[in-house]
C-alpha cells in the first residue's frame, strides 16, 4: 500500500479523517506544518501521495507559520513528482479571496461586487464604488475571522481604526447581500463529482463564522443540526436518543475545533438539500478551474434579485458534523477510500515506470 502524508495544523479537525484512514489500514505519515523542516535542495520523502489540509485560519491558532510552510513545501513536493491532493494551485486559491473572485469572474459565475485593498486607508475609497451594506474581510480568510459588516459611511468611519486585514495586510471590501430566507448553501465535491449539499440557517447578519464542521461550545452547551428523515444522537451517558428531526450533540470538551471563542459560538441549524443542477455544474467548473480535488463552495440566494451568488470557495473541507444523519453517508470514509485508492494507483504507476526503465537498460 502506498504511503500517504497528511500536512495539517489542527489536530482536532483532522481526527475524523485520521480515524477513517486508520479504518482503511492506510499507511499514514502525519506532518504538523508548524514543525516542518525540509531541505529545499534535497529529495522529496518517499510518499505515494500527500494531502494538504492546512487552513487559511491557521494564524488564529498561533500557526501562521503553517501557511508559509505549505506555500513552500507543497510546490517542492510537486516538482519532485509527489502527487498532492489540493496542491499549490488549490492552496493559492484557498488563501486568497482575490484569486477566488478572479476565478469566478473568468468562469462567468455570479459573485457579490468587491474591491481588493492593500491598506485600511484605502477602504473608504473602495466603499464609494460599492453599495451598502458592506463587509470588510482579510484576503487570507477562514471561518469568517475578522470580518466586519458596515451599513453606512458614518459606521465605516467609526469602524475603520479597528479593522484588521489579517496576516498579509490585504483585504476585500464586498457588498453584503441579504439572503432571501436567512440561509446560505454549501455544496461539497470530491474528485470532480458532487458529494452533497447543505443549507445553513443564520439568524444574525453579523455572525460570519458558519463553518458546519466546527464542533463548538455554545451558550447552552449544544450544537444542533437538521436531518431530513429524523436523526439520532448520543446522550451524555452514551445512550442513543432519537429526536424528531433534530440532532443535538453535546460539545463539552470539543472547543478545540472552533476557530473563535467557543463561548460565543452559536449553534447552527443545518439541513441536507438537493442542490440545483445549474449550481452543481458551476461548483464542478470552479473545482476544475481552481485545481481543487476536494472542497466546498458556498452560495446564497440574494433577497434583492432572487439570484444565486457564490461568495466563498473552500479547498479545506472538514465536512459537516453528524454527516451520516444529515446526508446519509460518512464523507470522511469516502474521502479516505479515495485517498487510499489514489495512493495505491500512484505506487503501481511508479513500479511500472521502474520496471520499464530497468527493461530498457
Q: What is the pLDDT of residues 232-259, one digit of tens each?
A: 222 222 222 222 223 333 333 333 444 3
| Structural contact between residues 248 and 233, judged by C-beta atoms closer than 8 angstroms | yes
For residues 22 and 44, state if they share a domain: yes
Q: pLDDT per position in the chain (361 positions), as tens?
A: 689 999 999 988 899 999 999 999 999 999 999 999 999 999 999 999 999 999 988 888 888 899 999 999 999 999 999 999 999 999 999 999 999 999 999 999 999 999 999 999 999 999 999 999 999 999 997 666 789 999 999 999 999 999 999 888 999 999 999 999 999 999 999 999 999 999 998 765 554 445 555 433 333 434 443 333 333 222 222 222 222 223 333 333 333 444 334 344 456 689 999 999 999 999 999 999 999 999 999 999 999 999 999 999 998 888 888 889 999 999 999 999 999 999 999 754 444 333 333 343 4
For residues 289 and 341, state if they share a domain: no
**CATH number, domain at 345?**
3.40.50.20
For residue 86, the number of C-alpha atoms closer than 13 Å in the C-beta half-sphere is 28
Q: In this structure, are strands 193-201 and 269-273 parallel, antiparallel, or unpaired? A: antiparallel
For residues 154 and 238, state if they share a domain: no
For residues 324 and 226, state if they share a domain: yes
For residue 33, the number of C-alpha atoms closer than 13 Å in the C-beta half-sphere is 30
Total count of domains within the chain: 3
Q: In this structure, are strands 183-190 and 294-301 parallel, antiparallel, or unpaired? A: antiparallel
For residues 57 and 157, state if they share a domain: no
State which of 175, 193, 209 marks the end of a domain. Answer: 175
For residues 244 and 320, state if they share a domain: yes
DSSP 8-state class, residue 162: G
State which of 154, 175, 196 marks the end of a domain. Answer: 175
For residues 260 and 321, state if they share a domain: yes
For residues 190 and 155, state if they share a domain: no
**CATH number, domain at 162?**
3.30.1490.20
Which parts of 208-356 are beta strand (E)? 222-226, 231-234, 240-243, 246-250, 269-273, 294-301, 308-314
For residues 304 and 220, state if they share a domain: yes
pLDDT for residue 169: 92
Task: Give the residue from 214, 157, 190 showing the smallest Cα distance to 85.
Answer: 190
Please name every residue paired with 9 in a beta bridge, in sequence order, or none if there are none: none
Q: What's the domain range around 296?
A: 94-110+178-331
For residues 199 and 227, state if they share a domain: yes
pLDDT for residue 286: 98
- pTM, two decimals, is 0.81
For residues 120 and 219, state if they share a domain: no
pLDDT for residue 187: 97
State which of 159, 175, 191 marks the end of a domain. Answer: 175
Return d(Cα 250, Cα 233) in angstroms, integer: 9
**CATH number, domain at 265?**
3.30.470.20
For residues 285 and 354, state if they share a domain: no
Amino acid at each position: 500500500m502506498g504511503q500517504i502524508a497528511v500536512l495539517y495544523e489542527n489536530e482536532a479537525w483532522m481526527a475524523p479523517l485520521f480515524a477513517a484512514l486508520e479504518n482503511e489500514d492506510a499507511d499514514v505519515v502525519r506532518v504538523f506544518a508548524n514543525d516542518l523542516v525540509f531541505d529545499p535542495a534535497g529529495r522529496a520523502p518517499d510518499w505515494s501521495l500527500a494531502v494538504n489540509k492546512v487552513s487559511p485560519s491557521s494564524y488564529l491558532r498561533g500557526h501562521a507559520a503553517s501557511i508559509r510552510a505549505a506555500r513552500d513545501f507543497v510546490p517542492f513536493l510537486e516538482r519532485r513528482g509527489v502527487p498532492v491532493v489540493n496542491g499549490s494551485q488549490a492552496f493559492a486559491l484557498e488563501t486568497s479571496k482575490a484569486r477566488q473572485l478572479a476565478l469566478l469572474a473568468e468562469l462567468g459565475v455570479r459573485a457579490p461586487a468587491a474591491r481588493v485593498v492593500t491598506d485600511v486607508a484605502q477602504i473608504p475609497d473602495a466603499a464609494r464604488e460599492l453599495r451598502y451594506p458592506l463587509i470588510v474581510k482579510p484576503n487570507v480568510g477562514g471561518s469568517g475571522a475578522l470580518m466586519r459588516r458596515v451599513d453606512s459611511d458614518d459606521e465605516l468611519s467609526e469602524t475603520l481604526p479597528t479593522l484588521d486585514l489579517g496576516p498579509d495586510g490585504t483585504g476585500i471590501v464586498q457588498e453584503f447581500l441579504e439572503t432571501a430566507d436567512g440561509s446560505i448553501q454549501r455544496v461539497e465535491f470530491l474528485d470532480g463529482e458532487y458529494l452533497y449539499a447543505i443549507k445553513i440557517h443564520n439568524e444574525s447578519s453579523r455572525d460570519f463564522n458558519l463553518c458546519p464542521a466546527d464542533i463548538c461550545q455554545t451558550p447552552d452547551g449544544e450544537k444542533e443540526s437538521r436531518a431530513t428523515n429524523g436523526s439520532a444522537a448520543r446522550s451524555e451517558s452514551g445512550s442513543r436518543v432519537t429526536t424528531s428531526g433534530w440532532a443535538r450533540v453535546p460539545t463539552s470538551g470539543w472547543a478545540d475545533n472552533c476557530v473563535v471563542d467557543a463561548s460565543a459560538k452559536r449553534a447552527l441549524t443545518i439541513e441536507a438539500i438537493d442542490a440545483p443542477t445549474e449550481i452543481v455544474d458551476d461548483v464542478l467548473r470552479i473545482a476544475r478551474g481552481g485545481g481543487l480535488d476536494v472542497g466546498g463552495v458556498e452560495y446564497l440566494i440574494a433577497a434583492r434579485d432572487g439570484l444565486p451568488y457564490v461568495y466563498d470557495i473552500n479547498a479545506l473541507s472538514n465536512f459537516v458534523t453528524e454527516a451520516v444523519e444529515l446526508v446519509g453517508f460518512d464523507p470522511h470514509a469516502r474521502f479516505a477510500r479515495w485517498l487510499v485508492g489514489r495512493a495505491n494507483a500512484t505506487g503501481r504507476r511508479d513500479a511500472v515506470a521502474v520496471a520499464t526503465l530497468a527493461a530498457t537498460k
